[in-house]
Amino acid sequence: MIRWKKAATAAALAVTAALALSACTGGAGDNEGTGEGGTLTLGAVGSPTTFDPSGSQWGNAAPYYQAVFDTLLLATPEGTIEPWLATEWSYNDDNTVLTLTIRDNVTFTDDSKLTADVVVKNLQRFKEGTSPDAGYFAGVTSFEAPDDTTVVITLAAPDPAMLNYLTRDPGLVGAEASLDSEDVATNPVGSGPYILDTAATVTGSTYAYTRNPGYWNPDVQHYENLVINVLGDNTAQVNAIKAGEANGVKVTNNAIPEVEAAGWTINANELDFEGVLLLDRDGTMNPALADVKVRQAINFAFDRPGLLKALYGEYGTVTTQVFGGESPAYDPELDSYYDYDPEKAKELLAEAGYADGLTISMPTIAVFPPATYALIEQQLADIGITVEATDVPAGNFITDLLAPKYPASYMALEQNPDWQLIQFMITPNAVFNPFHTEDETVNGLIREIQYGDEATQADKAKELNKYIVEQAWFAPFYRVQGSVATDANTTVKMLPTNAYPNIYDFQPKQ
C-alpha cells in the first residue's frame, strides 16, 4: 500500500528549457475573432534539434516538421492512414515490395517540382541519416523511382508498420537542392503548408511560420501564420495560457485544474505507458531477473491505482500491458492481470529462492518527479527487494539504459501500433531490448505476425501480448493521459498514434 501523503508533481519526459514570455510572438489576440486566416500560436515541450529531414524526430517535435514538410502518408485522428504526397499504394503478394504513386501537382517553396526521384533521395538520406528513427528502414533493401510518379520500396522481409512509418519522420520530403545545402539544418525547404520565417525565429524558443501561397492542399491551411513557442515546463505553460499568449498548448497533467479554471478545454489521448522495464530477462547482469517468478513478484508488488492517484490524480488508466487501447493486440482483461498483492509477491520470491530478498540496480533521472522513485523503492522494499539507485544526468540516461548498464529502469514509452511496438521493445534487436532477450514462443509469434494476413496479425498479436504479460517482460503501471489545451477560439482533434496533434487538425471555432 502507498504511504505517500503528498501528491507529486507530474513531469514530462521532454526538453525542460523554460521560455521567457517576453520572447513570445504572434499571440492569441491575432486570431481572436478572425476565423480562418489569423495566427495560430502553439506551445510545445521541446524544440527541434535540426530541420534536416534525415535527422528529424517525431512525437512532440512533429508540429515543427509538419509545418514545412509533407509526409508521404497521413495518420488521422480516426486511426486510419490516408493519402498525402502519395495518392495510392499497394504491396506485392508477399508484402516485400511497396509501390507508391506520387502526386504530380506538388511544388516545393523553392519552385522545384516533387518527383519520385526526389522522394527516393529523401528516403535514402533518412535511412543513412542521424535520426533516432533511422532504424525504421533497417529492413529496406532498395528505394527506386522507375518513373516520375512511382516509388518502389523493396524489403528484405515484410514490415507491417511501413505504412505507419511513412506518416512520421521517415516520410518527410524536402526539396532536392536544399538537402545538399550548407544551411539544411536551419533553413528547411519543403512542400508543406507553411514556410519557416528564419528572421522571426529564435532557435530554441520561438519558431515563426508564414502561409505557403502555393500549397497543394489549401483546405488544411486554416491560418495565415503559425507560431510555435517552446514551453518546456509547467510554469511556462500555465503562464502562457493565463496571459492569453497561445491558442493550443501541450500541458503537463498537474496543470489541468489551473488550465480549466482559465476557461480552456483539455483534449486528451492515452499514448504513453509508464512503469518498470525488466530488461535483463536472461539474468546477464542480475541473475534473479531470469526467473519468471521474480519478474511476476515485481508486478504483484505495485499498487497501480495508488501510484496513479498519487502521481497523476485521475489522468490515466491502470494497466499491466504495454500494448495500447488502439492496438488489435490490446486485451482489456490484461489491464488488471497483476492486482496489488504483496503477499503473493513474497511467496513467488520464496519459491524462486529469494525468501531473504534481493537487490536490483536502477537509474534515476531528474525529469521524473522524485516521488516516483520513492514510491517504487517503498513498494519493492515491502516485498523484500532493495533498489540500488544511481542518479544519471539527463543526457546520459537513454545511452546508459541501452548500453546496457542497468538490469531494470522506470521509464515512459510510447504505445506504438503493433508491429512498431514489437520492433521497438520485443524483438531480439529491438531498441528497448538491450540485453537481446530471445524466447522461442515470442520469436514464433513474431514470425506469424510478420508474414500473416491482417486477421492472422491481429490474432497472433493478441497471443503475443498475453504471453509477454504472463512472462512479466515488463511491469507497466498505467497509460498516462496526454493533454493538449485549447482556448475558447480553437478546436483540435487528438491523434491516437502521436503525442502532438497534426497541425492541420487545429482549427478556429466558427
Do 391 and 354 fall within a single domain?
yes
Buried/exposed code over 454-489 (b: 16+ C-beta within 10 A; e: otherwise):
eeebebbbbebbbebbebbbbbbbbbbbbbbbbbeb
The reply to whether 48 and 185 lie within a common domain is yes
Full domain range(s) for residue 434: 270-481
Same domain membership, residue 468 and residue 492 = no
Q: Domains in the chain: how many in total?
A: 2
Q: How far apart (Å, rounded) are the C-alpha atoms in residues 208 and 211?
A: 10
Q: Which one, of 50, 76, 34, 83, lies nearest residue 495 by Cα?
A: 76
Same domain, 182 and 301: no
Residue given cell 491505482 in the structure block: 305
> Is 131 among the domain residues?
yes
Residues 374 and 452 in one domain: yes
Considering the domain architecture, whether residues 43 and 65 belong to the same structural domain is answered as yes
Of the candidates 167, 240, 190, 31, the residue with the CA atom closest to the CA atom of residue 502:
167
**279 and 182 together in one domain:** no
95 domain residue, yes or no? yes
- One domain for residues 299 and 381: yes
The neighbour count for residue 298, using CB atoms within 10 Å, is 26
- C-alpha 85/C-alpha 219 separation (Å) is 15
Residue 382 inside a domain? The answer is yes
User: Do 419 and 499 sit in the same domain of this protein?
Assistant: no
Residue 40 lies in a domain: yes
Report whether the peptide linkage leading into residue 404 is cis, meaning its omega lies within 30 degrees of zero.
Answer: yes
Q: Are residues 465 and 491 in the same domain?
A: no
**pTM score, two decimals?**
0.85
Domain of residue 245, CATH code: 3.40.190.10
Residue 36: what pLDDT? 65
Instruction: Print burial letters for 126-162: b (CB count within 10 Å at least 16), e (below 16).
Output: bbebebebbebbebbeebebeeebebbbebeebbbbb
Q: State the CATH number of the domain containing residue 350.
A: 3.10.105.10
Tens-binned pLDDT, residue by residue, of the chain (510 aa): 433 332 233 333 332 232 222 233 333 434 333 336 699 999 998 899 999 999 999 999 999 999 999 999 999 999 999 999 999 999 999 999 999 999 999 999 999 999 999 999 999 999 999 998 898 999 999 999 999 999 999 999 999 999 999 999 999 999 999 999 999 999 999 999 999 999 999 999 999 999 999 999 999 999 999 999 999 888 999 999 999 999 999 998 889 999 999 999 999 999 899 999 999 999 999 999 999 999 999 999 999 999 999 998 889 999 999 999 989 999 999 999 999 999 999 999 999 999 999 999 999 998 787 899 999 999 999 999 999 999 999 778 988 999 999 999 999 998 888 999 999 999 998 989 999 999 999 999 999 999 999 899 999 999 999 999 999 999 999 999 999 999 999 999 999 999 999 999 999 998
Do 165 and 277 lie in one domain? The reply is no
Is 4 domain-assigned? no
Comparing CA positions, the residue from 131, 124, 118, 224 lying closest to residue 176 is: 118
Q: 9 lies in a domain? A: no
Residue 24 has a pLDDT of 32
On whether residue 316 sits in a domain, the answer given is yes
pLDDT of amino acid 87? 98
C-alpha 477/C-alpha 464 separation (Å) is 19
In a domain, 323, yes or no: yes
149/16 Cα distance (integer angstroms)? 43
473 plus 436 within the same structural domain: yes
